[in-house]
Amino acid sequence: MTEKMKMNLMFNPEGNDDVAARKIIKGQTTGLFNLNAVKYPWAKSLYQVMIGNFWVPEKVSGLKDDARMFHQDLSPEEQRAYKGILSFLIFLDSIQTVNLPHLSDYVTSPEVNLILAIQAYQEAIHSQSYATILESVVESKERDEIYYFWRTDEILLKRNKYIGNIYENFIKDQTDENFFRAIVANFLLESIYFYNGFAFFDTLVDKMKMLATGRVIAYIRRDELTHITLFANIIREIQHEYPEIYNAEIIKEMMSVAVEQEIEWSKHILGDRIPGMNGETTKDYTEWLANNRLAMLNMGPLYPDAVTNPYKHLDRLQDTNGDKSNFFESTVVNYTQSSSMNGSWDF
């Protein structure tokens, strides 16, 4: 019989908050956030980065210019891709906002619970950002069509069902395997499912189109990179502390499905109709990205021939280290509050 996970007690007088007794899951804490005693140093560092990434979409200027460009400068194919990709991104961040607390209920490291709460907040900001883009760029009569595009698009519905069912399976049946699958699904969602969409927006920006949307996506991508790092670390800690739960074959299986679905969806919504993107580059980019993400889990490549990123322009656009200050001559303001943090969480 598969073992069941146990939800954290909100208050557990019999718990033990000692660092030596702390576990990523299945620990016995009191419920107190004792953040002066940290077992996982990566969580402390990641917390600082995530807090420093604070931003809100209202601070991004230029969406009115994007509204003009959308109607005057984008081809019908680019308009379709713009709306379809937004629909998928809206779904991803919506389900993340709702699902993360369910997973956090079973994580027994207070420092990791803390950054999961920050991630949930960031996902809510992303949802607000997409709403702001739609309100600014797209006519009101089209907004519901974009939000609910998955109801009529078979390929998008299949994708949404796949990730949604994994999350629902854990909520309904909290087995070790269902939890591990849900954690892996989070890693794949953050590290694979967003990125052909991001590449589309970056490709538009490379052609000096939809620059304000590109700035919003740059902020979102910066957040997502921390979310990828968070779940990669959780998976590695499970491998170390609970090798009987960790399953490399599940990771490979789910990664293969994610790659196949991402390629199918991207070819469907982008096809060969977007200048600079086509079915071949979509496949090469997704497989290269999958190998890169697996390396974060200390796993070998699934696609040995995918060794280079076909989108060379992404390297100069993507803010992967959080240090760049300009995005096509438009200032990207880093709303940092980390200077207000004192004590052992400084570094």
Question: What's the CA gap between 285 and 336, in Å, rounded?
Answer: 32
Which residues 6+ apart lie within 8 Å of 131 measured at CB? none
DSSP secondary structure, 20-88, as one string = GG--SBS----S---TTS-S-HHHHHHHHHHHHT---GGG---HHHHHHHHHHTS-HHHHHHHHHHHHH
Residue labelled with tokens 């207000």: 340
First-to-last C-alpha distance (Å) of the chain: 45
Phi, psi of 4 (to 5 degrees): -95, 145
Selected catalytic residue, list 130, 167, 246, 311: 130
Own/partner contacts of 224-227, CB < 8 Å, gap of 24 or more, are 224/190, 224/191, 224/194, 225/320, 226/46, 226/49, 226/50, 226/53, 226/119, 227/119, 227/122, 227/186, 227/190
What is the rounded distance in angstroms from the CA atom of residue 204 to the CA atom of residue 206?
5
- Give the 3-state secondary structure of residue 331: strand
Q: CB of 128 within 8 A of CB of 57?
A: yes
Amino acid occupying residue 308: T
C-alpha to C-alpha distance for 236 and 337, rounded to whole angstroms: 29
195 is catalytic: no
**Nearest-angstrom CA–CA distance, 31 and 17:** 9
Please name the residue ranges forming H helices in 242-325.
Answer: 248-269, 279-296, 313-317
Q: Which pair of structure tokens corresponds to residue 97? A: 């906002």
- Active-site positions? 130
